Amino acid sequence: MTIDHSPSTRRVRLGANYVPSDGWFYSWLDYSADAVRRDFEDLAGIGLDHVRVFPIWPWIQPNRALLRQRPIDDLLSLIDVAAEFDLDVAVDLLQGHLSSFDFLPSWVLTWHQSSVFTDRTARDGISHYVRRVSAEIATRPNVFAITLGNEVNNLWPANTSTPAASRHWATELLEVVRAAAPTVLCLHSVYDDAWYAPDHPFQPADAVDLGDLTTVHSWVFNGTSRIDGPLGPASTSHADYLVELAAASAPDPHRPVWLQEVGAPRPDVPPEHAAEFVARTLDTVAPNPALWGVTWWSSHDIDRRLADFPDREYDLGLFTVDHRPKPAALALAQFARGAAAETAPARPAVVCPIEPRREPARRAEIAPGSEFHTEWVRVRQTGPTAIVTPDRAADGDYLAARDIGPVPPTDAAQPATVHA
């Protein structure tokens, strides 16, 4: 697989979610371009082409009416440092949520408690932030995407929402981003409860309808590692499974899917298996014709002197805090040096029992460990395997557009496998 810097091709982009090695995201408060330079040197050295970066919302907008210029300038500096290493940059705006911590400004907390999703005043304030930061970073040619925020659905339930409110919120803010930054990808981001939890107020329809492509975040601690361990097919195919679910759920058969986060978390993936987990996960997902790119979580470990992170968060880095590449980094580098991925023509498909976009209440039927997931994992071991929703299982044009072979009609309640 070769890395191509043009987002218009189908070749897979490869990058890392940037976690600063010195002081985690707290380092924004004491920004050092040199510290960023040293970190980005690590990432460019293993052949990555982009970074996804995370400013901290309340430090930029401590008052609803105050947008501080200095941290915006620091963000621009970081983007420019990335350019020194030919790294393109995706910026997430509303952090918001990072590795179990929520950063929320005092103007939406306690005596000012208001939901960032439903309160009109809070939303207007957020729009102001989104507009300003988007416009500023759009001045930089190496910025290719703006995401509303990292896994914004983790801000619920602390911030109340409903499916309608969540969708309206994201729709409105994406329009703000698009107007302020018309040349970049405008994106929404949710963690996988949006795909698997029946009552979750962020839904598959949001993921596949909103923004310029679909983003998915694949974490084996959310179910698959309990099925067959760190190197079992359920674990190492979970990223591909989510990409397929997203592709199958999108109205547009050509809508790309960005595997925006995937990582090798302890203890689900013990350190001695991390490299193999990386290789198998990437080899499994790479041939997927819907795959737009892969962004590993994360660039660097978290210093163990910092407190209160879930234990699995500390050691997710490709590099240690003192810049030593870990086995996962070497596996990623090897993947980056590989040949372009060949997509399998006329793949077989497993017919999904539900239409995730229209039947969110049935999401449990496609969650890890479900009958459907189990069947897909079984078939996936024989080679690239698509997912198709029952309503389109007989639509030849649609199937062809997704490189799927003919699928006979099937009872939606029973997964049906058809080899092309």
How far, rounded to the nearest angstrom, does the alpha carbon of residue 259 sit from its chain's CA centroid? 5
Distance CA 211, CA 171 (A): 8
For a copy of itself, the closer CB: 63 or 382: 63
384 near a copy of itself, rule: CB under 8 A: no
103 binds a copy of itself (CB under 8 A): yes
Secondary structure (DSSP) of 285-339: HTT-TTEEEEEEE-SBPPPTTS-S--GGGTT--SB-TT-PBPHHHHHHHHHHHSP
- Total chain residues near a copy of itself (CB under 8 A): 33
Indicate the residue type of 112: H
Q: Which of 107, 117, 169, 202 binds a copy of itself (CB under 8 A)?
A: 107
Site for a copy of itself contains 100 (CB under 8 A): yes
- State yes or no: residue 374 binds a copy of itself (CB under 8 A): no
Identify the helix (H) or strand (E) that includes residue 179: helix 163-180
Question: 304-343 mask for a copy of itself (x: CB under 8 A)?
Answer: -xxxx-----------------------------------
Considering only 2, 29, 322, 381, the residue that binds a copy of itself (CB under 8 A) is 29
Least distance CB 139 / a copy of itself (angstroms): 22
- Give the shortest CB-194-to-a copy of itself separation in angstroms: 17
d(CA 19, CA 95): 13
Candidates 57-65, 325-333, 370-378, 383-391; binding stretch for a copy of itself (CB under 8 A): 57-65
- Interface residue with a copy of itself among 26, 342, 345, 374 (CB under 8 A) is 26
At residue 59, the 3 state secondary structure works out as helix
**β pairing state of 386-388 and 349-351:** parallel
The only residue of 1, 104, 239, 286 in contact with a copy of itself, by rule CB under 8 A: 104
Answer yes or no whether residue 109 interacts with a copy of itself by CB under 8 A: yes
Q: Is 33 in the site for a copy of itself (CB under 8 A)?
A: no
Closest separation between CB of residue 258 and a copy of itself, Å? Answer: 25
Calpha distance 221→246 (Å, rounded): 19
Q: Cα–Cα distance between 143 and 183 in angstroms, integer?
A: 9
DSSP string, 256-293: -EEEEEE---TTTS-GGGHHHHHHHHHHHHTT-TTEEE
Interface with a copy of itself by CB under 8 A: which range of 96-104, 192-200, 247-255, 363-371? 96-104
Measured from the CB atom, the residue of 70 and 358 that comes closer to a copy of itself is 70
What the block records as the tokens of 42 is 């690590």
Our CA dihedral for 140, 26, 147, 85, rounded to 10 degrees, sits at: 40
The site for a copy of itself (CB under 8 A) is made up of: 23-24, 26, 29-30, 59, 62-66, 68, 70, 100-104, 106-107, 109-112, 121, 125, 154-155, 158, 305-308
